Copies of this chain bind each other. A is one copy, B any other.
Amino acid sequence: METRDSIIASAKNEFARFGFEGARVDRIARLAKVNKAMIYYHFGSKKRLYRAVIENQLSTKADFIEAILRQDLTIDEFVLQLASFYARVFSDNEFLPIFLRELASGGIQVKEIILKTISQKNLTAKLRNYFEAEMASGRIRRVNIEHAIISFIGMNVFYIAVASIANQIWEIENVEGFLSDRPRQVADIFLNGIKAK
């Protein structure tokens, strides 16, 4: 399993830097210190290697949200934890570019896998239920749940994706600080946005 793992790691790096089309099997092999033919022995094709990388990526991420949902948190804690979760996931230097490029090309690979894992764990329903309960209790306003959640995720993910541009536009100098501040800042606006007055 050592060779396989080393190939996956190198491939992840290569795909992250150059995208699927730009990635070179030669380079992956060299980086993994492995004979090029081994890649085909283990994965069959560049495409299948790519899929393996993506599966390997996503399989680890989905557990987190579930863990958060199981914790029975107040809405404030819940939203903050979710924000931190997204920050962490998308700050992965190799995952983000792969994900962005997947989006760019319709994301058929990623989509399938994401849908599978999400439906397996029934995450959609659990999230919906959580928010509905909060609305029923009157702690938050009646808002459209889908729009709200998508907005929330967008607030979190977007900055990470465009950080290099945004930092320059807004002359953000303490990038580290800005980034670590972000979950709290996002949670602040979002919670204010949905809470009953």
Contact = CB atoms under 8 A, between A and B. Distances in A.
Contacts of A89: none
A10 interface: no
Contacts of A1: none
Interface string A161-176: 1101110111110000
Given A115-B168, A165-B115, A17 B105 contact: yes
A147 B162 CA distance: 13
Interface SS of chain A: helix, strand, loop or mixed?
helix
Nearest to A155: B151
Contact of A193 (B98, B162, B193): B193
A154 to B, nearest CB: 3
A193 B189 CA distance: 4
B185 A141 contact: no
A19 B106 CA distance: 12
A186 interface: yes
18 contacts: A19-B104, A21-B22, A100-B101, A101-B101, A107-B164, A115-B169, A146-B178, A148-B185, A149-B170, A150-B162, A150-B166, A151-B155, A154-B155, A154-B156, A154-B159, A188-B193, A189-B193, A190-B193
